[in-house]
Chain A
Amino acid sequence: MPKKYHLDPKPAPARFVTPGPFGIIEGDGCLNCANCVKKNCVYSVFRKRKFDAHQLCDTADSLCKNCFRCVQGCYGRILSKSANPEFWSLGDDYWTPEIIASNQGQAETGKIPVSGGGYGGPFAGPGFDGMWTDMSEIVRPTRDGIHGREYISTSVELGRVLKPVPFHFQTESSPDPSLKLSPQWGEFTDMDSSPRVEISIPIIFDLLPFHSFTSSVRLALAQAARETNTLMVIRAEDMEEDLWPLASHLVPLLPSGPLPSLTPMITRVRMVQVSFTSTAEVGERVKEIKKINPGVVVAVRLILDPHSEENVVGLEGAGIEVLHLLADERGREAQTSSPRFIKDLIRSIHLRLVKEGKRDGLSLIFGGGIAMAEHVAKAIICGADAVSIEIPLLLSWECRLCGKCGRGMGCPVEVEKIDPDWGRQRITNLIAAWHGQLLEVLGAMGLRDIRRLRGEVGRAIFLEEIEKETFSQIFGEPVKKSALGEEIIHVLAS
């Protein structure tokens, strides 16, 4: 059994006042009565509230838990609640305000988001919201990994799956024929020496989007990669001196051009990335890199588009060990007017490789649109070995996805000024919370190893399939565009 994976989340308070979803509005006409609801707030919001002079805002809206006791109790009826536009205008329809707030909360506490009162969200939705993970019951037992009663591993290895070890007995030279089955007298031949990199959680950190950040930001991220035992993709030119001690957790993205100047870096790290140009070119490039360091895993970075499936098959044939396949930040494929979602791209690429008997030839890391812990589990069910994240890393540092940095404006939450130690802790907290959630899902499914989840679509429930299996039998053919988007109709019609 692998060494137990343990992260050490510690509270890392936000530097800025986080907007709350609902604001408290106070009207005129206070009676100054003795029974003031503000004094009796169960959560002491009115006692704890402060005015933040830097951001010019009141903290009451962030502290309020929306219980309505004050609204419903005020003698003068002067209090009311309302949606806080500052909160609801965060992000977009993919990176919703709820997702942003949830990730920020996890980065702050390192705890799994827990709430009471059942599920109040939409029935289903497009993308990852069109599938549910399965669970086990009575006829298949679950695993109790949450409270440490059973260990659940989230480790994955990136690289080629090792071939079975052929074994030749040296019957002739064995001094005692009765011992001929003892491996002591045999020798391993033709052992597969392909390098592999093991990470403790199937999530790697990708290049940060929007903006090129400062070295202290990269240092925070690299330290978090070491602490959580995973990898961080970084542009080779950003590999500054202070990052070299962390090299075994860094994956430099090598520029095109001559390799010799990069030799020290290639010999120092466990994995490098090269961008896809053509299969032949990339194949050559990988061979050159392997000449410098045969022990390095070379990943090919590839944008997902309608040709990726063919390219993946070709790259497998060219001996590529790891592919890092990227959709855009909302999980869509490029170069097409009707982009598929990453969930479906993963499924089709995974299944294609399985069909051709080539799936074990390489590891697949998918990125783009991975916004929550549940997306990690769902991507793996669809066939990924691991995923990469980028925006959630920024969210951990209180980023509000305003996009100002990309337009050359100042960052309202000053990401470039973070203290590396605080930044590292926030990322570690986020990964700790996501890890805990993966354990919830795996435990419920009765799995003790995340590697067993890969491609296990039997442990998932897909909206379009279950609609067909149950509702189509009752209600007939779907005839109207669903409130859930075109997905149902699209799939059922095909």
Chain B
Amino acid sequence: MSWPPEIRRTPSRFRNPIGKYKIYRGPACIHCGQCADLCPMGVHRRLGKKMLAPKDELCLGPSCASKEFYCIDRCPQAALRMVLNPNLQALKDYRWPADLLLSTWRQSETGGVPYADLEYRMGRSGGGFDRIRLRLPAQGDISSSLSEKEEEVSTAIVLNRRSDGRPQVRIGVPFYGGGMSFGSVSINTMLSRAKAAEAWDTFTCTGEGGYPEPLRRYDDHMITQVATGLFGVREETIQRVRLVEFKYAQGAKPGLGGHLLGDKVTAAVARMREAVAGSSLFSPFPFHSVYSVEDHKKHIDWIKEVNTRCLVAVKVSTPTDVDMVAVGSYYAGAHIIHLDGSYGGTGAAPDIAKKNIAMPIEYAIPKVHRFLLAEGIRDQVTLIASGGIRNAYDIAKVIALGADGVVVGTADMVALECIRCRNCESGQGCPRGIATTDSELSKLVDVEWGSQRIINLYAAWRKQLVALMQLWGLKNIGELVGRTDLLMHLDYQPGDFRDDDIRPFLLRGNGQRGF
């Protein structure tokens, strides 16, 4: 399989995709087709002698007003009107505001950066990643004198840095997929993620719900998760993979085990988990066999014994003493320390846990990074962060704060057109067919479509990461680790803030495509 994978345009699966702007065609329209001839974005189309409904998700919005093809001004009948899409008012999420959803959908459709005025770099949570900016050199002077060629920039990271005789395992991009179980999401969703992981030569994770048979062909790109409920964990599921993950906690509900509410436990899910259909499944918390670092080591040794070639990742939440946990885990023999912050998650979680328990990931990363450095073991640990990593900028910020890479989950779901309505847990699950086990709803996501959407999103992210590295003069993503000098925080830095949008750089010389 060739790497990087091919980008193929993969539009929305819904009849009416959501755009930032809405174009209304009034009754004065004479169907002359002038707008269709003018618009390079393909908003207006004429079929026979009739204009079709505008594809307003492609519209550039008010920034188009200066262009000679601005349909609103050029319509001979003045029949067109442009407004901000009122639907966006109903997408009220501080971490994933409408712009970020739309731009992620756009990236998943095209594999490129989104056009026009969509804010694709951050949300509006008012703190953490959303107040941190990248420090970039002025883009005007550099486009001609880039020291690093695009092809020479590497985004690969190594997952085993312990030199313990086990394989190094290199992944092509500094991110892999987080655990989402069969039961919390549909098999089509899992397959879409697995296929995309294979294409990008990275991993995705089974979550705590067993290892469904259709995933067998992706064994080399799957992570078997061992969590507190041990649902669906068998010797052979541990033996068939290159990476096994212990889930001690998850950021969405720190201190709590997994929840799968009864309605989502269908016969197939129950079989996979060796449980009873229709009964809610609550994983215990914590691992009742682990009450110390020594017990923890016993766990890791157990996995290493069962599978002599695999690496072991340890996924933990972020208590105040997360640095101690990380060191303990290193001494217990973990290859990857995976810190899970609290913004992510597709499953059911109590609101009080999501909002209030444990430390935001933005603080945990530098805390652990510095502690591991002081202990002199930073170069033997692969530090991975997750929990609300939404876009390429978040990835760059996480790595610059001190992690080696990230794990993504929700962003994959958004690529599949998750709209963040938060009904994943109730009833049969997701009305949009992503996080569901209902046989009808699952059909809404086609594996070909889904995997290509995720492949495209990853391609767009990689493009941005490569551009950032070129601008910073870095050859290898590993050089970015801990480079906090490349970051700034709006609450801490004096005035001179240079916009960190890399669109102008990425789209340079692209002529009309530069929107």
**Which residues of A come within 8 Å of B, CB atoms?**
21-22, 25, 42-43, 65-69, 71-75, 77, 80-83, 102, 112-125, 132-142, 144, 146-147, 149, 372-374, 377-378, 437, 440-441, 443-445, 458-459, 461, 466-467, 469-484, 488
B492 is contacted by which of A25, A43, A113, A479 (Cβ under 8 Å)? Answer: A479
A102 to B422 CA separation, bound complex (whole angstroms): 14
Instruction: Tell me whether B131 and A122 are in contact (CB under 8 A).
Output: no
Instruction: Tell me whether B420 and A120 are in contact (CB under 8 A).
Output: yes
What residues on A are CB-neighbors of B53 within 8 Å? 77
Contact string, B227-266, partner A, CB cutoff 8 A, digits 1/0? 0000000000000000000001100101111010000000
B317 is contacted by which of A77, A135, A459 (Cβ under 8 Å)? Answer: A135
**A144-B15 contact in complex given A113-B350, A119-B252, A474-B487, C-beta closer than 8 Å:** no
**CB nearest to B128 among chain A residues:** A123
A112 to B256 CA separation, bound complex (whole angstroms): 14
A152 to B349 CA separation, bound complex (whole angstroms): 20
Top 8 closest pairs, chain A to chain B, by CB: A444-B255, A123-B127, A116-B424, A475-B492, A67-B431, A72-B14, A120-B93, A81-B90
A475 to B349 CA separation, bound complex (whole angstroms): 33
A472 to B491 CA separation, bound complex (whole angstroms): 10
What residues on B are CB-neighbors of A466 within 8 Å? 359, 363
Q: Distance (Å) between the CB of A101 and the closest chain B CB?
A: 12
What residues on B are CB-neighbors of A123 within 8 Å? 94, 125-128, 130-131, 360
Q: Is B66 an interface residue (CB 8 A)?
A: no
Q: Is B77 an interface residue (CB 8 A)?
A: no
A146 to B357 CA separation, bound complex (whole angstroms): 15
Instruction: Tell me whether A138 and B328 are in contact (CB under 8 A).
Output: yes
Interface of B is mostly: loop
**CB nearest to B257 among chain A residues:** A144
Instruction: Tell me whether B86 and A445 are in contact (CB under 8 A).
Output: no
Instruction: Tell me whether B357 and A479 are in contact (CB under 8 A).
Output: no
Q: Is B118 an interface residue (CB 8 A)?
A: no
What residues on A are CB-neighbors of B362 within 8 Å? 470
Instruction: Tell me whether A114 and B431 are in contact (CB under 8 A).
Output: no
**CB nearest to A116 among chain B residues:** B424
A479 to B349 CA separation, bound complex (whole angstroms): 37
Q: Is B489 an interface residue (CB 8 A)?
A: yes
B431 is contacted by which of A43, A102, A124, A141 (Cβ under 8 Å)? Answer: A43
A436 to B201 CA separation, bound complex (whole angstroms): 43
A437 to B256 CA separation, bound complex (whole angstroms): 12
What residues on A are CB-neighbors of B95 within 8 Å? 118-121
Q: Is B372 an interface residue (CB 8 A)?
A: no
B350 is contacted by which of A83, A112, A477 (Cβ under 8 Å)? Answer: A112
Instruction: Tell me whether B94 and A122 are in contact (CB under 8 A).
Output: yes
**A77-B16 contact in complex given A116-B422, A121-B94, A474-B484, C-beta closer than 8 Å:** yes
Q: Is B212 an interface residue (CB 8 A)?
A: no
- Among B284-332, those with CB < 8 Å from A are 284-286, 288, 290-293, 296, 316-317, 319-322, 324-325, 328-329
Q: List 28 A-B contacts (CB under 8 A).
A: A21-B92, A22-B92, A67-B419, A67-B421, A72-B14, A73-B15, A81-B87, A112-B350, A112-B351, A114-B259, A115-B349, A116-B347, A116-B422, A116-B423, A117-B421, A117-B422, A119-B354, A120-B94, A124-B360, A132-B358, A134-B358, A135-B255, A144-B257, A144-B286, A378-B356, A475-B492, A477-B492, A480-B490
Q: Is B136 an interface residue (CB 8 A)?
A: no
Which of B269-277, B337-345, B457-465 contacts the other chain?
Answer: B337-345
What residues on B are CB-neighbors of A477 within 8 Å? 492
Q: Is B18 an interface residue (CB 8 A)?
A: yes
Q: Distance (Å) between the CB of B95 and the closest chain A CB?
A: 5
What residues on A are CB-neighbors of B487 within 8 Å? 474-475
A22 to B352 CA separation, bound complex (whole angstroms): 23
Instruction: Tell me whether B317 and A137 are in contact (CB under 8 A).
Output: yes
Q: Distance (Å) between the CB of B74 and the closest chain A CB?
A: 24
**A118-B352 contact in complex given A474-B366, A483-B131, A484-B127, C-beta closer than 8 Å:** no
A484 to B131 CA separation, bound complex (whole angstroms): 10
Instruction: Tell me whether A483 and B491 are in contact (CB under 8 A).
Output: yes
Instruction: Tell me whether A135 and B424 are in contact (CB under 8 A).
Output: no
- Among B424-443, those with CB < 8 Å from A are 424-427, 431-432, 435, 441
Instruction: Tell me whether B346 and A116 are in contact (CB under 8 A).
Output: yes
What residues on A are CB-neighbors of B256 within 8 Å? 146, 440, 443-444
Instruction: Tell me whether A141 and B286 are in contact (CB under 8 A).
Output: yes
**CB nearest to A112 among chain B residues:** B350
A343 to B12 CA separation, bound complex (whole angstroms): 47
Instruction: Tell me whether B96 and A120 are in contact (CB under 8 A).
Output: yes
Instruction: Tell me whether B350 and A144 are in contact (CB under 8 A).
Output: no
Instruction: Tell me whether A475 and B14 are in contact (CB under 8 A).
Output: no
Instruction: Tell me whether A74 and B422 are in contact (CB under 8 A).
Output: no
Instruction: Tell me whether A147 and B255 are in contact (CB under 8 A).
Output: no
Q: How many residues of B contact A (CB 8 A)?
A: 100
What residues on A are CB-neighbors of B130 within 8 Å? 123
A467 to B494 CA separation, bound complex (whole angstroms): 17
A139 to B14 CA separation, bound complex (whole angstroms): 48
**Which residues of B come within 8 Å of A, CB atoms?**
12, 14-18, 53, 86-87, 89-90, 92-96, 125-128, 130-131, 248-249, 252, 254-257, 259, 282, 284-286, 288, 290-293, 296, 316-317, 319-322, 324-325, 328-329, 342-360, 362-363, 366-367, 387-388, 401, 410, 418-427, 431-432, 435, 441, 484, 487-494
**A72-B357 contact in complex given A124-B127, A440-B350, A443-B285, C-beta closer than 8 Å:** no
**CB nearest to A438 among chain B residues:** B352
A134 is contacted by which of B125, B285, B320, B421 (Cβ under 8 Å)? Answer: B320
What residues on B are CB-neighbors of A138 within 8 Å? 248, 286, 290, 292-293, 296, 316, 325, 328-329
**A133-B127 contact in complex given A443-B285, A471-B489, A480-B492, C-beta closer than 8 Å:** no
**CB nearest to A378 among chain B residues:** B356
Q: List 14 extra interface pairs beyond A21-B90, A135-B254, A443-B285, CB under 8 A.
A: A66-B419, A82-B86, A118-B346, A120-B93, A121-B355, A123-B360, A124-B127, A136-B255, A140-B321, A146-B256, A461-B359, A466-B363, A467-B491, A484-B127
**CB nearest to A375 among chain B residues:** B356
**A115-B127 contact in complex given A135-B319, A141-B291, C-beta closer than 8 Å:** no
A118 to B255 CA separation, bound complex (whole angstroms): 15
What residues on B are CB-neighbors of A374 within 8 Å? 352, 355-356
**A139-B127 contact in complex given A67-B423, A74-B16, C-beta closer than 8 Å:** no
Instruction: Tell me whether B419 and A480 are in contact (CB under 8 A).
Output: no
Q: Distance (Å) between the CB of B27 and the closest chain A CB?
A: 11
Q: Distance (Å) between the CB of B135 and the closest chain A CB?
A: 11
B15 is contacted by which of A42, A74, A117 (Cβ under 8 Å)? Answer: A74
B286 is contacted by which of A142, A469, A478 (Cβ under 8 Å)? Answer: A142
**CB nearest to A372 among chain B residues:** B352
**A137-B388 contact in complex given A65-B421, A142-B286, A480-B493, C-beta closer than 8 Å:** no
A461 to B320 CA separation, bound complex (whole angstroms): 7
A480 to B495 CA separation, bound complex (whole angstroms): 9
A377 to B357 CA separation, bound complex (whole angstroms): 11
What residues on B are CB-neighbors of A77 within 8 Å? 16, 53
**A441-B348 contact in complex given A144-B285, A480-B492, A482-B491, C-beta closer than 8 Å:** no
A437 is contacted by which of B282, B284, B350 (Cβ under 8 Å)? Answer: B350
**A121-B125 contact in complex given A470-B367, A471-B492, C-beta closer than 8 Å:** yes
Instruction: Tell me whether A67 and B432 are in contact (CB under 8 A).
Output: yes
A119 is contacted by which of B14, B355, B441 (Cβ under 8 Å)? Answer: B355
